[in-house]
Structures are given as structure tokens and as C-alpha cells.
A = this chain, B = another copy of it.
Amino acid sequence: MNQSPFHSAVLLISCPDRQGLVAAVTAFIARHNGNILHLDQHVDAAENVFFMRVEWELGGFTLDAAAIAPAFEQVAAPFAMTWELHFSDQIPRMVVFVSKEAHCLYDILYRWQSGEWRVNIPAIVSNHPDLGDLVGKFGIPYHVISVNKEDKREAEAAQLALLEQLQPDFVVLARYMQILSETFVANFANRIINIHHSFLPAFVGAKPYHRAHGRGVKIIGASSHYVTAELDAGPIIEQDVVRVNHRDSVDDLIRKGKDVEKLVLSRAIRYHLNHQVLVYNNKTVILG
């Protein structure tokens, strides 16, 4: 699904499953002359939860953008729907955290500068100065907030103050090699996207490629997930893998893994940018 060329609205909905949900939502859109571009729904039968994403064209829609939310609340309330409304002309703001590795950052910079993604990057934050030169080439502010064992709390306070200023819609950890505190994470629930360099839940934590090599696996992977308080345990958004063999040293695994990491992270960012992701029970539903 490419981003729509139209001016469009997206509703993301979840609620207890019952009869008439799709009918109620689509009748609302039809009543105001909306033309549906994409509709995807899912019922988790085991949990009795209903999920839906619907995107419709706003040209010709008989409600003003500002009037949609209050009007839709009339539809949503009787079904106890949880919902979000997004508009395609609101360009999301994404702050990227990096450490020293550049592969994910190059990938992100390309997709941003080529217009593949409609996103604003108000700043890139790092605990090291190393990538400042690269970021500078692209005219994006680069903030170094160094993090040491002793001053982790202060560093996080500085980061949070900066984010308070930048007001990002979400944060991307593009191989940012520090663990964020529970407090930090609580500020951005389901709004921090991390890339972990293993096929989760295998090899949670440090040095996953070394451990994958030690175990003699024949395939390695990468996993993008929303960050939660528990390390590498948040809802998985996307994963992919690449084959390795006995000839591959740890350095080969690291090299091959980078190509998977950047693809997996970029796909997860795309889903998030397109408002395709719903989280429940520490899992994601990705609607098209």
C-alpha cells in the first residue's frame, strides 16, 4: 500500500467483537459521501476483539476535518470503540536516535530525502559524535547527549527535555545501543520503534550475533518492535531473516545482519507512518 495521492482520512478502531461493526463504520462514511480507498478488518476470535482500519478520500466528504471526530464519536460510543483519526496532510515528526553504526541511518536518510516517506525529521540524537558529519551533510540538526553509567539519569533528562521541545510523533532507535528507562518509555507508549539484531525471542539483549554464531544457527534475523519496559520484549512489528552457514564468522553475521536490520526497521517505520499498526496483548495487528 503506497501513501495515497489523495487528501484522505484514516480511522484505526478496536473494540469487543459484535454484529454490525463494519456496517456501522462504513454507513457513517457512506452517509457523508466518503469514498473508501482501503478497508481492512480483523477479528481475533480467541480474544473476541475486533480491529479495523479504513481510509477514505476527503474530497467531496460532507464533513469538515474538524467535524469528523465528534461525529464519529456518536458511532463509536455504543460499541465502546477505541479509535484514532489521522489525516494524510499531517506530516508526522520522527526523531531518530543513533549510536555509531550508520547502516540504518543511511537507509532512513534515503527514504526521507527521496520522498519515499512523507515524514519530517526535526533532529537526530546520538550518544556519540561519530555520525554528526554524515547527518550534517543532510542539513538535519544533530544532538550529542553522551551517556555514561554514572549519569544515565541526567542523560535521559536531557533527552526528554529535547523531545519536549521537538514534539515528535514518534521516536526511532536506529541501532541506538542504550537501554531506555521505564520512565522514558512510559512517555512514548507504542511510539518508540526499535530494531533488535536478532530473530526475537531468540537472543534477547547484548551481542546476539555472537550468540547466534555460538549456537550454530543456519539463519539469522532482525526484529523491529515497540519499546516497552522489558528489554526486547515489546510488540513485534516486523521481522526478517537471512541464511548463513559455517563459513560465516561473527563478522560475516554482523555484515549480513545489517542488510536485514535496515530493511526490517524501514518496513516497521513505514507501517507506523501509514497508521497501519494496532497494538494489543503485546502483539501487533498490521492492517492494509
Interchain CA distance A240-B259 in the complex, whole Å: 13
Could you list which residues of chain A lie within 8 angstroms of chain B, going by C-beta atoms? 1-2, 17-23, 26-27, 29-30, 33-46, 51, 102-103, 106-107, 109-110, 113-114, 116, 137-138, 199-203, 215-219, 221, 235-241, 245-249, 251-252, 255, 259, 263, 266, 281-286, 288
Task: Please judge, given known A-B contacts A251-B2, A255-B116, whether A217 and B201 are in contact too, CB under 8 Å.
Answer: yes
CB distance A218 to B202 under 8 Å?
A: no
A137 to chain B: which residues have CB within 8 Å? 137-138
Interface SS, A side: mixed
Lowest 9 A-B CB distances belong to which pairs?
A: A216-B283, A23-B26, A20-B30, A137-B137, A202-B202, A23-B30, A106-B110, A22-B26, A246-B285
A285 to chain B: which residues have CB within 8 Å? 246
CB distance A246 to B283 under 8 Å?
A: yes
Interchain CA distance A237-B237 in the complex, whole Å: 27
Task: Please judge, given known A-B contacts A45-B249, A199-B199, A202-B202, whether A216 and B110 are in contact too, CB under 8 Å.
Answer: no
CB distance A19 to B30 under 8 Å?
A: yes
**A136 → B minimal CB distance (Å):** 9
CB distance A23 to B19 under 8 Å?
A: no
A245 to chain B: which residues have CB within 8 Å? 286
CB distance B37 to A43 under 8 Å?
A: yes
Task: Please judge, given known A-B contacts A35-B19, A116-B255, A249-B45, whether A241 and B238 are in contact too, CB under 8 Å.
Answer: no
**A85 → B minimal CB distance (Å):** 18
Partner among B26, B240, B284 whose Cβ is within 8 Å of the Cβ of A219: B240
